[in-house]
Amino acid sequence: MPHLPEHLLAGYRNFMSGRYPAESGRYRSLAREGQAPETMIVACCDSRSAPEAIFDAGPGELFVLRNVGNLVPPYEPDGEYHSTSAALEFAVQSLKVKNIVVMGHGRCGGIRAALDTNSAPLSPGDFIGKWMSLIAPAAETVSSSTFMTATERQTALERISIRYSIANLRTFPCVSIIEGKGRLTLHGAWFDISTGELWVMNKETGDFERPEL
Ligand SMILES: [Zn+2]
């Protein structure tokens, strides 16, 4: 007897009676011709910041990679398991995406964990602690600022980590070479869950600004 939580089955019934019939032509052509998304999004796993919902994207439009804290690690061809780097390699080398957007969000639990180094790990493996240690130097600097409130520190590190991930993207030879040829553009964005506001990184200054809509 196949089994899924009832709310997932209910959602799937809605999909098959609504969205799938409306977009079946698109699904069939994507199945026939393969995917060719122009944009890769690196987003957080957080259930409140789904890129497909925020950008109102249909099937085949976005190549989405989600991990805790929307981090891109530096290029490390060391034979270890690098799921983020594998997705990046596929997006750039095979799909030849034209844009990569690193999208952070407000109230990020991963970022909060990076700032709160006193709390005990969730498991002996402390996978979150190890993963978020990628931004430990920035987290320590932000944590030590007594002029900022806890909320300001959180937002600051959320945005710093986006710039950090974009810098790490450029440590991948495949990214920096193709960007240098003008065939790939890197972007940063930050989504405020409570208001729905999207803030977009200014490429020159690194500041986050509201786009004209
Ligand atoms: Zn998050």
Which of helix, strand or coil describes residue 205? coil
**pLDDT at residue 120, as a whole number:** 84
Q: What's the predicted TM-score (pTM) here?
A: 0.96
Q: For residue 30, report the distance from its CA to the centre of ligand 1, in Å.
A: 30
**pLDDT at residue 118, as a whole number:** 81
Q: For residue 147, report the distance from its CA to the centre of ligand 1, in Å.
A: 24
Q: For residue 178, report the distance from its CA to the centre of ligand 1, in Å.
A: 29
Among 152, 142, 165, smallest CA distance to 68 is for 165
23 CB contacts (<8 Å, ≥6 apart)?
58, 59
First to last CA, the chain: 49
Among 150, 168, 170, 147, smallest CA distance to 158 is for 150
**DSSP secondary structure letter of residue 206:** -
What element of type H or E holds 4?
none
Q: For residue 96, report the distance from its CA to the centre of ligand 1, in Å.
A: 27
Residue type, 152: E
State the pLDDT confidence band at 178, using cuts at 50, 70 and 90: very high
Summarised one tens digit per residue, pLDDT across range 78-127 is 999 999 999 999 999 999 999 999 999 999 999 999 999 888 888 888 89
In whole angstroms, what separates CA 11 from the centre of its chain?
Answer: 24
CA distance 32 to 22: 18
Query: Could you please report the per-residue DSSP string of 136-157?
Result: HHHHHHHHT-TTS-HHHHHHHH
What separation in angstroms does the CA of 143 have from each of 86, 147, 171, 195? 32, 10, 27, 26
Q: In DSSP terms, which residues pair with 42 in a beta bridge? A: 65, 102
CA distance 206 to 200: 9
